[in-house]
Structure formats: C-alpha cells, structure tokens
Amino acid sequence: MSQVQQTEPTLEVLAPLESGVEAVQGRTPWQLFYTRFKRDRIALFAAGVVLLLIALALLAPAFARFVVHRGPNDLNQGYTSDISVPLLGPSKIAWFGVDALGRDIFIRTLYGARTSLLIAILATGISIVVGIALGLMAGFVGGKLDTFISRLIDIVLSLPLLLLAIGIGAARIVRGQTLSLREREFVEAARATGYGNIHIMFREILPNMVASIIVVATLLIPQNILFEAALSFLAVGVPAGTPSWGGMLSDATNGALYRIAWWMLFFPGMFLVMTTLAFNLLGDGLRDALDPRAGR
Amino acid sequence: MRGGTIREESPEFGWTDAFDPTGEYLGTAWGMMDQLLIRGLMTYKHVDAAQGGDTPVPDIASAPPTVSADGLTYDFTLKDNVMWSPPLSRAVTADDFLYAFQRINDKKLVAQYGNYYCGVIKGMDCAAKDDNQPISGIKVTDPTHISFTLDQPTGDLLYRLSMPATKAVPVEVRGCFPNPGDYGVDLISSGPYMILGQDKLNLSSCSTIKPISGYNVDKGMTMVRNPNWSAATDDTRAAYADGVQIKINSNVDDSFNALENGDLDVVQGTPPVAVLQDFETNPDFAGWLHADQGDRTWYVTMNLLAPPFDDIHVRNAVNLALDKAGIRKAYGGDLRGTLATSVEPPTVLPQSTQINPFSANTGSGNATAAMDEMKMSRYDTNHNGVCDDGPVCQNILFLGRSTDPWPNMNQVAVASLKPILPGLDLKEVDTSTGYTTLQQVKKLIPISMVPGWGKDYASPYGFDFFIFDSAGIACTAAVNYSLVGMTEAQATECGVKPEYDAYVQNNGPMPSVDDKMKECVAKPADQVDACFAELDTYLMTVAVPWAPWLWATQFTSTNLKTVVSYQFDQNAGIISYVNTSVNNGLTPQNVA
C-alpha cells in the first residue's frame, strides 16, 4: 500500500450551491499545489525565466549556427587592439560585444548557460541521491548508524565549502524528516501489514518527503551554479576553453579588462545573477505551494 | 642625482635557493646580488645591450686576466682596497674567492649551475665532502693573486666567472652554513649596498650569526648603503640612491595603482592590460613603460619520444602552423618582443635572425604549408594534412599555463594548430606545476607552451647547454624537456626505454648536440658564435625540439615623476638599481 501523507487538509469548502447545501470536493495534493503555485506571480515569473534560460541553453548551437554564425570558441583577433583589448562592444555585429580574443560574448553566454545548468543539475542530482541515501538510513535505522552518519555530516559541514558539503546538507534535512515520519501511523500500519524496512523506507517514507526534496533541490541548483562559477573564476572549474559564466567573469577581471570592456563583466554577471535569483524565487514559491505552513 | 630610495613591489621573490649565491638560479636574484650586494672578479656594466651590458668587465680584478698560450691558465690580480661591509670591515682577498669555489664544489650545497666549473676547473667535481677541501686548479699565491687552471680550453670562462656563485664569500663564515640556501639570510656585502641590519651581525662564531633584520622572504628586503664601499674601486655601479626597498605584494593591480599614485617608483613585470593601455595611450604616462631586450625565448616544446611528435614532419608542421603573432598579441602586443625564428635570442647569438627554416610561416601561421608538411607524416594515413592515425592523434595533451594572460595565449596557439592536430587537448596548470610536470621525464608530456628560457650568461653556451645537452636530462628534474640527445642509459634509468626504442626504430639515432656543444665551447672566443650558429641550425632543421615564438622583452614600469634616470641591466634582465636615480628624497624603511 502506498500512501501519501497529507500535510494540508484535502478538503476545501467550495462556493455554496443554489440549494444552500455546501458541497465538499476532494483534491489531490498536487492539485492543491498547482492551485497555490499559480497564484504566486513571482514564482511563476521565476519559473518562466528558468524555462527561458533552459530553452536558450538548449538552443545555443542553433543560435551559433543560424543566427550569429560563429561558435563560442571562434577567435577573431581583428576585433581587438594590438594589446588584445576588446574593441567591439555590444553592437549589431556582436550583441554582447567581444572578449580579449574577439570571441562573441553572446554566444559564449548561451553556451555558458549550458555549462552552468548542466553542472548544477548534475551536481544537485548527485547531492540529492547521496542526501536521500544517508538521511534515510540515519533517520530510519537510528542508533549507532545514526550517530555515525550524523557525526560524519557534522564533520563534513565543518569543512570549508566543498561540493561534498552541499550533498551532506540535503542528508541532514532528509534525516530530520525521516525521524518524524517513521513514528507516524501509516508507517505503523505498513509494518503491521508485514512490509519490510526497505519497502517502508522507499515506498512509505520517501514519497512523503517529495515536496521537501523538490524544494531542497530547487534551492541547491543556484548554490551549485554559483559554486561552479566560483571554481571556474578561480580557474579550477571546467576544462580550458569551455565557456562558463565564472570563466567569463575571470576573463573580465584578468588584466583589469572590465575597466575598459564593461560588457565582458556585465553580461555573464547579469545572467549569473538572473539565474540564481530565478531559481531561488522558484524554490521559495515551490516551498510555499507544497508546504504553506513551512516558515521561510 | 644622488639620494632617495628606490621603492618597488613584487608579487614574490621566487628564489630557487633562498638567495644563497652558491645555489641560487633565479635571474632576478643574480641581478640583485651582482648589482647591489656582492662583487666578483668579473661583472657587467649594469647597463642595456646597446651600451655593452652583456659583456663581462673586471670588477675586483684590477684588469682582465692573463691567459696562457694554451688557454688553460687564467691569472687574476685583485684590487687591494675593496672592503667587506661592517661588521667585517676588511679587504676582500683571493682567499675569499677560493672559498666561493670551495662552496660550489661542496656536494651538500648543491650549486645549481656547478657544471660551469666542475669538470672545467682542474680538481673541481662538485662532490667535495664540505666547503674546506682544496681545489688543485685554483692557486692563491698572495691576498691579491689567484689563478685558475682548466682541464680544457673554455672560450667563455670570463662569463662564467661573472656569475654570482663565483663572487667572494668571506672565509669567516666557512662551515657556518652547511645546508643549501642557508647563507641567503646572512649574505655579507662587498657591494655598494648591504641588507639593512647586516652591520649588527655577530660574526664571532657560527652560532652567533642570526638572520639579518632587513630581509624576510614573505615581506620584503631593504638595502641601505654599505659605508665601506668606495666608488673609486667600482667602475660599473653609480649607486645613486641611498637605498632600495622591495616589498612583497601579491596584488599586482594594487602595485600598479601605487605606482600611478606615486607611492612606488618601480614595478617590474607585465602590467594589467588596462594599465598597459593607459601607458600606451595616456600622455600623462608617456615613457613610464620600458621594454628592454630580455635575452630569453618563449617556445612550444615537443617531446621527441611522445607520438605523434616523434615524427619530425609533425614537429615541422607545428612550426609552420603556429600563430606566433596572435600569441604575442594576446601576450601584450609588439612591445613584448620579436617573433622568434630560432632558439637563441639575437642578443645572445646575432646569427639567430639568419636561422629561419620555417620562413613559410611569416608569423601568423601558415596552415597550408603546415598541412603539406603533415601529409608526409606517418601519422597522416590518408595524406590530407591532418593527424588522423587513431589514438595517437586523439587527446594529445597540450600543457599550458593557467595564469593571466596565458589562457588566452593558449587558446590562440591551440586554434592555430587544430587544422593539423585536431586532437589537441588543452590542460592548464599554474606555472610551478607546469614546470614540475615537464621535468618528470616519465610523464612524456607531448607538447607544451609552459616553458620559457633565458640565458645564464650572454654567450650561446650559457643559453643552449642545459636546455639541449643530454646533461639537462635528469629523470625527475629535466630541463631538456624535448629530450634531445637522450642516451639509451638515460632512457632506461628514467623508465622510457620502450618509447626510446620505438623512436630509434622509426627514425634512427636520437638527434644530439652534445659533441657539437663540446666542440663549440672549446673554440677561441672569436669563433664561438659561428660554431653555435651551426649548432642552432642543426637544432632547427634536424632535431626540431621547439617551435620558438618570441624573443621576449622585459617590462619595467617606472614613475617618471620620481625616477629621474632609468637604466636596464642587460645581463641580469632587470632594472639597473645601481644606475637608476630617483628624486623622492626618502630614507630607506624596513619593509621586512
């Protein structure tokens, strides 16, 4: 038996019927979520921005081939001065201007979106899987295993910012939820029916955490985008030559070029801010819609 | 103008042996020592190339040496009135020079260019058990006479006797600094300046000698006048300023801001591009940037044992395809130097400009000529001008530097080589890691733009020896990165015998310049250059270990409001502190 534990009443009072009798209609949690989410204009706008960014990222090769007719790594030193200062700012030729090698910043920004989103989504996926595995085990099994995993989480969280720490943060949230859910009646019922621990963990408890996990994942994505950008800025991120927003920001600061070519800093920076803001607002909106009682 | 203090900032000192003259191998350190702190038998004029800055001249030697007819014995007479700084305050003697060579010969002190003396001066093998062993080929007859007897004629000996390891070291410190680098914090001065606080040293015993207060490797160094120095004994150092202070600041932008604001007088190295543009276009900064011949070559190195570069046609094709002009532009433009056609800069070997076997590449790369060359390679199976022989042509590691502006330069280089080598895989690492990686022979790094090479001294041997002789192949510390002249024994020792055998099987014997190097260095001084021109021609046409792309300049930025006259030290490749004057009227402050 699979059961979704409700965190919100599933009955809503509808408008009185002509007869004067109030009719009560059941709604699924997802219907309730949708109803609440579509009322949140900011979250809707953020979702639109995220979808637009994803579309731009997916269409980057098409833009390169059919619109601007150059790739992200196509050099054109004719657009730079004799000491490699970019001479071409935002213009019809290059919408976002060019960098110190004459590369088109617009198409590099789009390809940078592919890099940022791909890495962020992959990293978030890994984080969530690791978080679920550790959190479920710690919260459900308890005892020495819980103590061991909890101390492990504490140790990792005490280290300077590492990719690992982001995944561990998710583990802590999942553990807390598991500790609460494993005492609920539907878990007792499943146990009484004869289901084993694995079934209870993955078929009873986990589905009841989906809302929380979605929110955590949505908020992890911008963290990971910023993390990737920071690594690329420090030249320890994606391989050389791969366009990334962090790498482009680094290009702008090298030699203090941004003092002359502001567009090298502005456009990748704007996309980075816009993307992280959109994901954060979307995450907040999802949390509000999935669990209105949860405080921010 | 006399007086004032030359104020400079530098991101780091970067010493290779903690500023100990016996082992230190960093050009900047050589320049600071030779100009400011320690004097030798020979030195340079500390001026630019046009004024003869690359030619050795007598320093403490009263005149050039008397050389025997067979070229094996050099007799020097010393000036008798050159004094050590306080607290020593006595005349520099021939014994102090003998002691410098005993330190070079001390195995534990690891003289990093000991090869210039060991195996050259009779009795020197760089394997002595300590710094108190006699050297049969060096004779001190009295305090002002010293003679050297050689195993074989060496045409460029005077250059070698101008290097910092040969400068006098007071015999009073014998045995006090038994480990490499230790003497660097207590360097005792015979030059026009001394490190601030050096006069407070207690030389009564080894245990009483403490580090000098004016030097901290992480913070900086302050040098003040040596009261015992006499201008009458010194023809090469004007010593205008009252002091020199070099402060460590890792923020280059900050240093250039300080220069523009008048808080500094000198910053050496490449300015940020935005500052460079200011210097080139803003009349307020006209003349602030100096680009002097650096006597160094930037190049792409190719490993003769690493396919596909074990095929000379591939190496030739790289030389033809490389966009040298584009790389230079990304490096900072024409001021950065002259596009190179051969290995040695013309300031070291004038004939270099005539050596240009890849003239079809006029600078920006010639993809057509490169592809025609590639068609002759065994790695171009369908003869279409592209390396396409399976895994050998895929994922070819191209090692580049990760620090600004090198990533842009790497992109230009790789883009120009892609038509012939589409499988190049650029990896960027910091400079130190890049060198360390290249130095591991077993790693067989196929191609790299990390290294540059500058002369040790301004004779071709001082440029070519370590980088092309098989002596430059040490398994974990090679500087002959392309492995020119590698012997079978070296290949076995370094764990690359299969690759060595494959090379020999496909190409015949490894190209080598070892014998030619010996032949050239034994030539009389007036025949050395012609011999090395032949050697370099062989390198560029038969061995082809490099694709040289720039004979580079050295950038020095000076605040012309405070720097009254600027001079460059050609031999050292840095500013001539002793022949530059400032008008800031400041007293040296301790920055350590």
Residue in B closest to A84 by C-alpha: B330
Residues 7-46 of chain A with CB under 8 A from chain B are none
Q: Is the pLDDT of residue B304 over 90?
A: yes
Q: Could you tell me if B384 and B475 lie in one domain?
A: yes
Whether residue B219 is found in the same domain as residue B338? no
pLDDT at residue B554 tops 90: yes
Gap between the terminal Cα atoms of chain B: 27
B571 and B531 in a single domain? The answer is no
CATH code (residue B485): 3.10.105.10
Q: What pLDDT, on the 0 to 100 scale, is given for residue A5?
A: 42
pLDDT of residue A162: 55
Which residues of chain B lie closer than 8 angstroms to A257, CB-CB? 272-274
Which of A84, A241, A260 is facing B329, going by the closest CB pair? A84
Residue B121 inside a domain? The answer is yes
- Domain containing B164: what range? 5-246+559-582
Q: Distance from A74 to chain B by nearest Cα, in Å?
A: 9
B569 and B531 part of one domain: no
Average predicted confidence (pLDDT) for chain B: 95
pLDDT value of residue A229: 85
Contact A256 B272 (CB under 8 A): yes
Output the pLDDT for position A61: 96
Check whether B401 has a pLDDT greater than 70. yes
Which residues in A lie closer than 8 A to residue B407 (C-beta atoms)? Answer: 235, 240, 251, 254
Task: Mark yes or no for CB contact A254/B333 under 8 Å.
Answer: no
Domain presence at residue B311: yes
In a domain, B32, yes or no: yes
Q: Is the pLDDT of residue B72 over 60?
A: yes
Range with the poorest average pLDDT among A5-14, B175-184, B437-446: A5-14
Per-residue confidence (pLDDT) for residue A22, from 0 to 100: 61
Q: Do the beta carbons of residue B199 and residue B87 sit within 8 Å?
A: yes
Nearest in space to B572 (alpha carbons), one of B248, B294, B191: B294
Asked whether residue B362 is assigned to any structural domain, the reply reads: yes
Chain A: nearest CA to B333, how far in angstroms? 4
d(CA B448, CA B413): 10
Return the pLDDT at A3: 40
Give the pLDDT confidence score for residue A288 in this predicted structure. Answer: 86
Question: B509: pLDDT confidence band, cut at 50, 70 and 90?
Answer: very high
Q: What is the DSSP letter of B540?
A: I
Nearest by Cα to A44 from A288, A211, A269: A288
Is the pLDDT assigned to residue B371 strictly greater than 70?
yes
In this prediction, residues B245-258 reach a mean pLDDT of: 94
The confidence score (pLDDT) of residue A23 equals 63
Q: Is the pLDDT of residue B207 over 70?
A: yes
Q: H helices within B128-272, ranges in order? A: 157-160, 252-260
| pLDDT of B461 strictly over 80 | yes
| B-proximal residues of A, 65-104, CB under 8 Å | 73, 75, 77, 80-85, 100-101
Domains along the sequence of chain A with CATH = 48-84+95-290 (1.10.3720.10)
pLDDT at A292: 63
- The CA–CA distances, whole Å, from B525 to A43, A62, A164, B154, B520 equal 81, 65, 64, 8, 10
Residue B546 sits in the same domain as residue B563: no
**Residue B193 φ/ψ, nearest 5 degrees:** -125, 165
Mark which residues 398-427 of B lie under 8 Å from A by CB: 400, 402-405, 407-408, 410-412, 414-415, 426-427
Q: Rounded to whole angstroms, how far apart are CA atoms B387 and B375?
A: 8
Please say whether the dihedral angle defined by the alpha carbons of residues B543, B545, B546 and B551, taken in this order, is positive or negative.
negative
* Residue B269 within a domain: no
Is the pLDDT at B556 greater than 80? The verdict is: yes
Say if residue B140 is in the same domain as residue B118: yes
- pLDDT band (50, 70, 90) for residue B516: very high
Kindly state whether residues B191 and B312 are assigned to the same domain: no
DSSP alpha helices (H): ranges in B440-510?
Answer: 460-468, 488-493, 497-507
Are both B507 and B524 inside the same structural domain?
yes
DSSP B150: B
Instruction: Assess B428–A contact: CB distance below 8 Å, yes or no.
Output: yes
A231 touches chain B (CB under 8 A): no
Nearest Cα of chain A lies from the Cα of B273 at a distance, in angstroms, of 5
Task: Please give the share of chain B, as a percent, with pLDDT higher than 90.
Answer: 88
Using the beta-carbon criterion (under 8 Å), do A240 and B427 form an inter-chain contact? yes
Same domain flag for B66 and B110 = yes
Domain-embedded: residue B272: no
Please give the tally of structural domains in chain B.
2
Rg for chain A (alpha carbons), in Å? Answer: 24
Question: Is A180's Cβ below 8 Å from some Cβ in B?
Answer: no
Over the stretch B135-164, which tens digit does the pLDDT of each residue have? 999 999 999 999 999 999 998 999 999 999
Please give the DSSP secondary-structure letter assigned to residue B550. E
Residue B288 lies in a domain: no
pLDDT the model gives residue A13: 43
Do B548 and B565 fall within a single domain?
Answer: no
CB A204 within 8 A of CB A186: yes
Per-run averaged pLDDT (10 residues), chain A, 296 residues: 41 48 70 87 95 96 95 94 94 96 96 92 90 90 89 78 64 88 89 89 88 86 86 79 90 90 96 94 88 58
B232 and B177 inside one domain? yes
Top-confidence residue, B39 or A228: B39
* Inside any domain, residue B275: no
Q: Between chains, do B329 and A260 touch, taking CB under 8 Å as contact?
A: no
| Cβ neighbour number for residue B300 with a 10 Å cutoff | 24
Predicted-assembly ipTM surpassing the 0.85 threshold: no
CATH number at residue B132: 3.40.190.10
Residues B564 and B515 in one domain: no
Residue type, B52: G
